[in-house]
Amino acid sequence: MSVGLYRSYAALLVGALVPIWTGSHASLVMPAADRKKLRKLRKAERERSATADAQDSDEEEEEEETTERLTREDALWFPIVGSCVLLGLFLLFRFLDKRLLNRILGGALALLAVVGLTRTLTRIVRSSLGPKRYNKSSKVRCRRLERHIAHWTDISLTTYSLGAFAVALGVATAQIYTTHWVLVNVVALSFAFNAISLIALDSFITGSILLAGLFVYDVWWVFGSQHVFGDNVMVEVATSFDGPIKIVFPRNLAAGRDFTLLGLGDIVLPGVFLALALRFDYFLARGRSPAPLRPRANFAKPYFMACFSAYILGLCMTMTMMHYFRAAQPALLYLSPACILAVALTAFARGESEALWRYVEEEEPSSQEAEKEKQASQDQSSPKDSLAAVESTGKSSNRDLPVECQVGEFDSAGDLPEVTPRLRQRANASK
């Protein structure tokens, strides 16, 4: 095996591990209840001493981001939808001009690349400066426009985020026109980081269903599709499209040719499973901690580290088999069993199998949604309070009726609750 091939395999391994590690940690979010407790503790500390305020100055809360939660139904549909998309791309590249398709698809992905790179660069700057210094930077305020587009125009941007947008726009534009492998990798790694940090599996059962389905998907499209379509569909699409759907590294670095590649699916899909394992570690650590535990705190990560190690072994096995057989290998053939077995065996060894398989992440409402629900509950409780006041005074003109009325629904004529139809019929019969 040549030095160049060793180097390319090592580069692909590092390129896969970086977005998995960073994206998994970026997916950690402190629950709203813990954030509320932490704010109370900070307030008490500030009241006791001025130094506490200085110590906590850099521990500002992260901005809320909306995650896409995958359920069991989504996991079942994922390989089917993925197969349809893959086959569609294969047919397009077979019957249409590849250069034109690369321009069209590359332009569409470039728009996503600008958004993804902006978010990635912004998070890097925020982590480097600290939340408080980042939030105190100069801000550009976009005034809210009227009515139906108000939600999209009421935004506040920092100078750092505007700078990140400018850099992202330049990189995405250069990637379209040059298709240089370094720029392709930058955009692809940004996609992988954002996908792992923003896509959340709701349970380990869902994750196991997803990886098991993708195990079959990958094996079929790499090994079985050639017997039906005459070509290896997976390899044909991956090599025909020059866009950021894979990370590549040349065996001949000086000449920039003879590339080895790894698809983004082999990074992102096991990556969201590893992110779930890290969030489970965080859940267990929060249960053991007497005080609210910040996501950036140092806590035990047995499930994440076991799964992370299994991913490394699975990817190394993929590369070994690829070199031995001199042919493309379905990486999920090795990665899916490795990740599932890693968390299952770790739970068995720690006596936490029941907790692992019963663990379910509920979608937590954002602060704005929580405020709306709180206001709605207050609005709904006010008629009941009025009803209680009316009944306590004993001044109702219908005191002779049985007290079997519906609570909380008022008629338009007055303040008294409307009686049930059965009671109305009884009253009419007595007349």
CA 237 to chain centroid? 26
Closest alpha carbon to 297 in 51, 38, 63: 38
Instruction: Count other C-beta atoms under 10 Å from residue 379's C-beta.
Output: 9
As a whole number of angstroms, the distance between CA 20 and CA 240 comes to 26
Q: Give how far Cα 243 sits from Cα of 47, 145, 247, 405, 410, Å.
A: 55, 36, 10, 67, 62
Residue 267 structure tokens: 């990074």
As a whole number of angstroms, the distance between CA 136 and CA 143 comes to 20
Q: Which of 202, 242, 266, 281 is flagged as catalytic?
A: 266
Instruction: Count other C-beta atoms under 10 Å from residue 396's C-beta.
Output: 15
The DSSP element (H or E) to which 140 belongs, if any, is strand 139-142
CA 211 to chain centroid? 17
Q: Does 218 qualify as catalytic in the annotation?
A: yes
Non-local CB neighbours of 189 within 8 Å, separated by 6+ positions: 15, 18, 19, 247
As a whole number of angstroms, the distance between CA 356 and CA 368 comes to 31
Burial class (CB in 10 A: 0-12, 13-18, 19+), 16: buried
As a whole number of angstroms, the distance between CA 4 and CA 60 comes to 46
As a whole number of angstroms, the distance between CA 306 and CA 342 comes to 6
**Would you say 369 and 64 are in contact if contact means Cβ atoms under 8 Å apart?**
no
**Would you say 105 and 92 are in contact if contact means Cβ atoms under 8 Å apart?**
no
Q: Which of 53, 58, 154, 218 is flagged as catalytic?
A: 218
**Would you say 71 and 206 are in contact if contact means Cβ atoms under 8 Å apart?**
yes
**Would you say 185 and 260 are in contact if contact means Cβ atoms under 8 Å apart?**
no
Amino acid identity of residue 140, one-letter, is V
Residue 100 structure tokens: 């034109």
Question: 3-class DSSP state for residue 250?
Answer: strand
To the nearest 10°, report the CA torsion of 287, 288, 289, 292.
-10
**Would you say 22 and 267 are in contact if contact means Cβ atoms under 8 Å apart?**
no
Q: Does 266 qualify as catalytic in the annotation?
A: yes
Give the residue numbers marked as catalytic. 218, 266
